[in-house]
Amino acid sequence: MTMNQQQTVLVVDDEKQNRTLLAELLVDDCRIALAKNGAQALERAHELQPDLILLDVMMPDINGYDVIQALKADDATRQIPVIFISALDSTADEERGLDLGAVDYITKPFHPSIVRKRVRNHLQSCHHRHLLENLAKIDSLTEIANRRRYDEALENEWRRCSRTHSPLSLAIIDVDHFKAYNDHLGHAEGDRMLRLIAKKLSDFVRRPGDLVARYGGEEFVLLLPNSSSAAAANLGEELRSSIEGLRLPHPASAISPYITISLGGVTTQPSGGEVDPQFFQAADAALYEAKAGGRNRSLWRNDPFGAA
Q: Which residues bind Mg ion (CB under 5 A)?
A: 14, 56, 58
Going from the C-alpha of 166 to that of each of 157, 161, 162, the distances in angstroms are 10, 5, 7
Signed CA dihedral, 227, 301, 290, 284: sign only:
positive
Nearer to Mg ion, 58 or 248 (CB): 58
Nearer to Mg ion, 2 or 17 (CB): 17
Q: Which 3 state secondary structure label does DSSP give 219?
A: strand
Rounded to the nearest whole angstrom, what is the least distance from the CB of residue 52 to Mg ion in the complex? 18
**How many CA within 13 A on the CB side of residue 43?**
8
By beta-carbon proximity to Mg ion, the closer residue of 35 and 286 is: 35
CB of 21 to Mg ion, least distance (A): 13
* For Mg ion, the closer CB: 35 or 168: 35
Q: Are the beta carbons of 120 and 83 closer than 8 angstroms? A: no
Which of 95, 155, 218, 238 is labelled catalytic? 218
Half-sphere exposure of residue 215: CA atoms within 13 angstroms, side-chain side? 16
Pairing of strands 168-175, 104-107: unpaired
Taking the complex as a whole, the smallest distance from the CB of residue 59 to Mg ion amounts, in Å, to 5
Alpha-carbon distance 198 to 218, whole Å?
A: 10
CB nearer to Mg ion: give 16 or 130: 16
Closest approach of Cβ 40 to Mg ion, in Å? 13
CA distances from 13 to 40, 87, 112, 146 (A): 10, 12, 16, 35
Q: By C-beta, is 39 or 136 nearer to Mg ion?
A: 39
Residues 6+ apart with CB under 8 A from 213: 139, 144, 145, 146, 147, 149, 150, 153, 220, 221, 222, 223
With CB atoms as reference, the residue minimizing the distance to Mg ion is 58
- Give CA 156 to chain center in angstroms: 25
Q: How far is the CB of 279 from Mg ion (least distance, A)?
A: 51
Q: Is 218 a catalytic residue?
A: yes
Which strand (E) or helix (H) includes residue 168?
strand 168-175
For residue 20, count other CB atoms closer than 10 A to its CB.
Answer: 13
CB of 104 to Mg ion, least distance (A): 17
Could you list the active site residues? 218
